[in-house]
Amino acid sequence: MLNLILFGKPGSGKGTQASFLKNKYDLVHISTGDVFRKNIKNETDLGLKAKVYTEQGELVPDEITVSMLENEIKQNLPSNGFIFDGFPRTTFQANEMNKILSKYKLPLSATVALEVSDNLLKDRLLKRGKISGRADDQSEDKILTRLNEYRKKTEPLIQYYGKMNKFYSVSGIGEIDEISLRLVDLIEKIQK
């Protein structure tokens, strides 16, 4: 079983690479963003709460995110494994995720960060906003808010997973296929 956390700043390519890894290793892809959008669209209680934060360009509070994540895991069992994209984002979420993974007997294989500079990310997100129509990708101020939130709340997870010997870093710069090959090389080494 392969259970991966794919991690990186907004616009680093997590969704694209998670889709590739999902297909390559027959994993269930749980994207926090997709889970939020699904819950918001379906106007679930959790979705309505999350909407208030996403419209402000802020991260959704931990309690809402953790509840949505566990619901997605339960709905997708049994599986060959999971790839988590955009979760956990805080130390609290990481601790909660450990409890959830333990509860469902899903050992964490690795946490992999896609590393990309802020300037490149800002350009990627503005371009994505024009194409997708996503409001949180069309405002430079909202993008900068998300990048600052990431730095404050998510970067501490590098040390958290590093202490568990579960943290790895891969360059998220270059052609999509090049980045995919870097990830496969890393995963193959981890699985040995």
Contact 112, 7 (CB under 8 A): yes
The Cβ of residue 15 has, within 10 Å, a number of other Cβ atoms equal to 17
* CA–CA gap between residue 87 and residue 125 (Å, rounded): 19
Q: Which CATH number characterizes residue 138's domain? A: 3.40.50.300
Residues 117-149 have pLDDT tens digits of 878 878 777 777 677 777 666 677 777 777 887
Domain total of the chain: 1
Q: Does 37 map to a domain?
A: yes
In a domain, 129, yes or no: yes
Domain residues for the domain of 132 are: 4-182
Q: Consecutive sets of 10 residues in the chain, 192 residues long: mean pLDDT of each?
A: 89 89 95 85 89 81 89 92 88 92 95 86 75 71 79 83 94 93 95 80
Q: What is the pLDDT of residues 110-125, one digit of tens each?
A: 999 898 887 887 877 7
Asked whether residue 190 is assigned to any structural domain, the reply reads: no
Q: What angle do CA 5, 8, 11 make, to 5 degrees?
A: 125
Query: Is 70 contained in some domain?
Result: yes
Structural domain includes residue 19? yes
Structural domain includes residue 123: yes
Q: Flag whether 187 is in a domain.
A: no
- Domain presence at residue 137: yes
Q: pTM of this prediction?
A: 0.81
Say how far apart CA 138 and CA 151 lie, in whole Å. 20
187's CB contacts (< 8 A; 6+ apart) are: 2, 4, 21, 25, 109, 110, 112
